[in-house]
């Protein structure tokens, strides 16, 4: 119970600190790496289906393999 209380207090303290610091960092630090909407297909310069279909096949193969392993 003591660890749970310390965890809750840590979450509240972190949220409070972030709320206090946010106005100072919103225009400089939080804009670092803001590239807008990026997708795998736009980065690769291909149609979105060229990315979707292989990911579906790979995901299905992984799920099938996990099912055969009994996991």
Where are the chain's structural domains? 1-34, 35-71
Mention every residue, 6+ apart, whose C-beta is less than 8 A from residue 40.
51
pTM for the whole structure: 0.52
Please compute the mean of the pLDDT values over residues 63-68 and round it to a whole number. 96
Q: What is the pLDDT of residue 33?
A: 83
Q: Which of 9, 29, 12, 11 is nearest to 21 (CA)?
A: 29
pLDDT at 56 (0 to 100): 98
Summarize pLDDT for 9-51 with one digit per residue, the tens: 999 999 999 999 999 999 888 888 888 889 999 999 999 999 9
Number of H helices and E strands in the chain, helices first, is 3, 0
Q: Quick one: which of 34, 10, 31, 4 has its CA closest to 18? A: 10
Tell me how long the chain is: 71
């Amino acid at each position: 119970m003591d660890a749970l209380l310390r965890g809750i207090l840590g979450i509240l303290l972190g949220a409070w600190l972030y709320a206090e610091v946010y106005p100072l960092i919103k225009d400089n630090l939080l804009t670092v790496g803001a590239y807008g909407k990026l997708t795998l297909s736009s980065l690769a310069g291909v149609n979105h289906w060229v990315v979707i279909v292989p990911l579906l096949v790979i995901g299905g193969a992984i799920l099938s393999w996990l099912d055969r392993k009994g996991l």
